[in-house]
Structure 1
Amino acid sequence: MSADEISEKIGSYIRERFLDGDLNRELEETSPLLEWGVLNSMNTALLLMFIRDELGVAVPPKGINAGNFRDIRSITQMVIELGRPQQATVAGRD
């Protein structure tokens, strides 16, 4: 899934669930979700479940911080990074 598709899915979810589907409310990739009060503790928990269930990415506790949830762009970047396959390391090899 491309970054644009991930961003669109996250943005649509936020609009529908937390902004009552208000398409007229201006929500950009860089809109400050925490500052605007869009993401509070309950909404963040719901968003984490959406990311896990719909995007197939589990966010570890250390990933739940203001920097990763600042805006749609930062959430998208976090999902991309966490969704990358981890490179296996072979013992004894560089």
Structure 2
Amino acid sequence: MQRSEVIEQVKHYIAEVILDGDDTDLNEATPLLEWGVINSLELVGLLNFIRRQFHVDIPSEKVTAEHLANLATIAELIMDQASEVR
């Protein structure tokens, strides 16, 4: 699993499901929580998407602002959790 692929898949999910298809200004450093792109309701959907798409469960202690700040940190979280499963 490549970091860039993970970022693109999460970006596509956020653009399509949360932003109604608009990925304008959405890049790996966009502050998702700070800008209100992800709230508690969207977070549940995002975690379900990660579970289905990447076969990774994110433990509750990892569901923090630090890990969900932007696409880059989300991708790192996914990749870290995937490597722990192996």
- Report the TM-score when normalising by structure 2: 0.95
RMSD: 1.2
Report which structure shows greater RCO (CA 8 Å, sep ≥6): 2
Match of 1:18 in 2: 18
Match of 1:49 in 2: 48
Match of 2:79 in 1: 80
Question: How many residues were matched structurally?
Answer: 86
Match of 1:71 in 2: 70
Unaligned runs of 5+ residues in structure 1 are: 88-94
Change over 3 Å in CA distance of 1:58–1:86 after alignment to 2: closer
Name the SS for the 2:21 alignment partner: coil
Q: Which amino acid aligns with 1:10?
A: V
The whole-number CA distance in structure 1 between the counterparts of 2:75 and 2:85 is: 18
Match of 1:91 in 2: none
Name the SS for the 2:57 alignment partner: coil
Q: Which amino acid aligns with 2:61?
A: K
Unaligned runs of 5+ residues in structure 2 are: none
Q: Which amino acid aligns with 1:20?
A: D
Is 1:3 the counterpart of 2:12 in the alignment?
Answer: no
Q: Which has the larger radius of gyration?
A: 1
Residue 22 of structure 1, CA deviation = 1.3
* Moved beyond 2 Å, runs of 4+: none
Cα-to-partner distance string for 1:20-64 (whole Å, 9 max, x where unaligned): 0014x2101000000110100000110000000111110001010
The whole-number CA distance in structure 2 between the counterparts of 1:72 and 1:22 is: 15
- Report the TM-score when normalising by structure 1: 0.87
